[in-house]
C-alpha cells in the first residue's frame, strides 16, 4: 500500500475513533484504548505531512526544474 493510501486509511480510522469517543458510549477502558490508538494515528499522520511538506519545499527551491534533491525518497 502506498504511503498516501496509508495516510487516507489512518485519517478515516482517526475520524471513526473521534466519533466513537464523542458518542460517549464506550466504557472507560475502551475509551483509553481508543485514545491511545488515536494518538498513534495522529503521530503517523503528522509524520507523513511533515515529509510531504519537506518534499514540497525542496521542489519549490529548485524553481522551474521541479527536481527533488538527492536523498529524498519520492515513494
Q: How confident is the model at residue 73 (pLDDT cuts 50, 70, 90)?
A: low
Asked if residue 7 lies in contact with residue 48, where contact means CB atoms within 8 angstroms, the answer is yes
Give residue for cell 503528522: 46
Instruction: Give the model confidence (pLDDT) of 13-48 as tens digits.
Output: 999 999 999 998 889 999 999 999 999 999 999 999
Share of the chain above pLDDT 90, in %: 57
Q: State CA 8 to chain mean position distance.
A: 8
Residue 25: what pLDDT?
84
Across the chain, what does the average pLDDT equal? 83
Share of the chain above pLDDT 70, in %: 75
Amino acid at each position: 500500500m502506498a504511503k498516501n493510501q496509508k495516510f487516507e486509511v489512518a485519517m478515516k480510522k482517526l475520524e471513526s475513533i473521534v466519533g466513537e469517543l464523542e458518542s460517549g458510549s464506550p466504557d472507560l477502558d475502551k475509551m483509553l484504548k481508543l485514545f491511545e490508538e488515536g494518538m498513534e494515528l495522529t503521530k503517523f499522520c503528522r509524520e507523513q505531512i511533515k515529509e510531504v511538506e519537506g518534499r514540497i519545499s525542496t521542489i519549490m527551491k529548485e524553481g522551474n526544474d521541479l527536481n527533488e534533491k538527492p536523498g529524498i525518497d519520492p515513494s
